[in-house]
Amino acid sequence: MGDELEFNPYYGVFPYHDFVKEEGIPVHEAYAVDCHTLAVEPWERLGGLGAYIHLVGRSDYLSAYVVEIPPGGQLNVEQHMHDELMHVISGRGATVIEEPNGKKHSFEWGPNSIFGIPLNAKHQLFNGSGTEPARLAAVTDLPIIFNIFHRKEFIFDNPFVDTGELYGDEEGFYAHEAHAIQRENGRTEWYGNFFPDLTIWDNLTEYGGPGRLALSGGITFPQSAHRPGLMVLPSRRYRAAHRHGPGVTIIGIQEARGFVVMWPPGGGPDDYILTPWQEGSVFVPPNMWYHQHINSGPLENRQLRLFPPRPIMNYSFVDPKQWIPFTEEDPWIRQKFEEDLANQNLTSLMPEEAYVNPDFEWPEDFLKDKD
């Protein structure tokens, strides 16, 4: 029969999982977590305190972790061959990024900042307070990279550095300015390495299509496979149930009240996963599970969404059941929404006709603030 095939020692093995076990910090597995209260422990490799977040819907495409920098402290210098975006949960501090020629860029961050780390660039994070800890959440594609290359040395001790536009010739690339870019589909996105406060970011457009009922702002980081975006849900309103591919990590970035309902295709009320929503919450809808973002509070609800690379989302697949119209919605959803409003002496701003008329045309001012 000829030469026998050599056994592949990595078949059916996930090196990323083994690496996480070796890290010696907690691994939180759930449908959703609160980054403010998540238990963390000393992290030898990175410094500070940390914990991994392995939510049910992540599907080994993206990973998240929380790191806490003690008052007056700093993390270890590191570099890595995986994509990483960092969102500030609490506290203030600074990041120093070093170019291959030794030139350093530094920028200061605070609550609800988001920034990107250039691929394999040396960098270090510092806490700017001597009395309060700083806590950040990071979303990375480390599971994909680790399961392909298997070696810690390749990922964390690799001499390759991209000297292109991640550093750029322009001064202040980590300043508070972002550049508007026009996509082929006509949408405007904002391009930069640092966005200082997403709670006041107002470069938003209305989401098109029935049931979307939200404002959005696209964000692009240089040469990053991640596709972040800001979604704003107006108060006392909610989006229609919808579904998509795996790995979309969603973080609450503004103090608000509401909840998320998720369920598998074909599931009913007994299968509903209901997660209260607030600033600092993180959840990932499992692959092709229906879910609804519901704002049952008096304030707008801002969410940072971090999408995995486009091929993973499989946008080439046309899903005829991507959305569930409000006319076909389980009445339990509306009942739960209105009950939560009533507990706060609030009333719904959802039009009654939307629940009974499949051809209902939404008013142009529906997403605007209302008293």
338 vs 61: which has the higher pLDDT: 338
360 within some domain: no
Q: Does one domain contain both 305 and 235?
A: yes
Boundary (domain end) residue, out of 156, 187, 210? 156
Write the CATH number for 199: 2.60.120.10
CA distance 217 to 201: 9
Length of the chain in terms of residues written = 371
Q: Residues 79, 152: contact at Cβ < 8 Å?
A: no
Lowest mean pLDDT of 69-73, 185-189, 214-218, 288-292, name the range. Answer: 185-189
Q: Does one domain contain both 50 and 107?
A: yes
Tokens (6 digits) for 310: 């486009």
CA distance 228 to 112: 14
Tokens (6 digits) for 94: 């600074």
| Residue-averaged pLDDT of the chain | 87
5 within some domain: no
Q: Does one domain contain both 183 and 151?
A: no
Q: Does one domain contain both 74 and 220?
A: no
97 within some domain: yes
Boundary (domain end) residue, out of 156, 190, 216? 156
Confidence of residue 30 (pLDDT cuts 50, 70, 90): very high
166 within some domain: no
Confidence of residue 189 (pLDDT cuts 50, 70, 90): confident
152 within some domain: yes
Q: Does one domain contain both 85 and 231?
A: no
Confidence of residue 364 (pLDDT cuts 50, 70, 90): confident
pLDDT score at 310: 64
Other C-beta atoms lying within 10 Å of the C-beta of residue 4: 6
Quote the domain boundaries for residue 77.
16-156
| pLDDT of 309 over the 50 cut | yes
Parallel, antiparallel, or unpaired: how do β-strands 49-55 and 27-30 relate?
Answer: parallel
| pLDDT of 170 over the 60 cut | no
6 within some domain: no
Angle at 278 between CA 295 and CA 176, to 5 degrees: 100
pLDDT score at 335: 96
Q: Does one domain contain both 137 and 201?
A: no
Predicted TM-score (pTM) of this structure: 0.89
CA distance 248 to 58: 7
CA distance 364 to 366: 6
CA distance 211 to 243: 12
Confidence of residue 176 (pLDDT cuts 50, 70, 90): low
pLDDT score at 217: 85
Q: Does one domain contain both 197 and 341?
A: yes
Q: What are phi and psi of 290, to 5 degrees?
A: -70, 145
365 vs 232: which has the higher pLDDT: 232
359 vs 316: which has the higher pLDDT: 359
> Which residue reads 């030794």 in tokens?
102
Q: Does one domain contain both 146 and 207?
A: no
Task: Spell out the SS3 assignment of the chain.
Answer: CCCCCCCCCCCCCCHHHHHHHHHCCCEEEECEEECCCCCCEECCCCCCEEEEEEEHHHCCCCEEEEEEECCCCECCCECCCCCEEEEEEECCEEEEEECCCCCEEEEEECCCCEEEECCCCEEEEEECCCCCCEEEEEEECHHHHHHHHCCHHHHHCCCCCCCCCCCCCCCCCCCCCCEEEECCCCCEEEECCEECCCCCCCCCEECCCCCCCCEEEEEECCCCCCEEEEEEECCCEECCEECCCCCCEEEECCCCCEEEEEECCCCCHHHCEEEEECCCEEECCCCCCEEEEEECCCCCEEEEEEECCHHHHCCCCCCCCCEECHHHCCHHHHHHHHHHHHCCCCCCCCCHHHHCCCCCCCCCCCCCCCC
pLDDT score at 172: 57
Boundary (domain end) residue, out of 156, 190, 218? 156
pLDDT score at 344: 95
pLDDT score at 165: 53
CA distance 290 to 294: 13
Q: Does one domain contain both 224 and 335?
A: yes
The structural domain count of the chain equals 2
366 within some domain: no
Half-sphere exposure (Cβ direction) of 205: Cα atoms closer than 13 Å: 12
Work out the average pLDDT over 158-186: 66
Q: Does one domain contain both 320 and 188?
A: yes
Q: Does one domain contain both 250 and 103?
A: no
101 within some domain: yes
Q: Does one domain contain both 115 and 232?
A: no
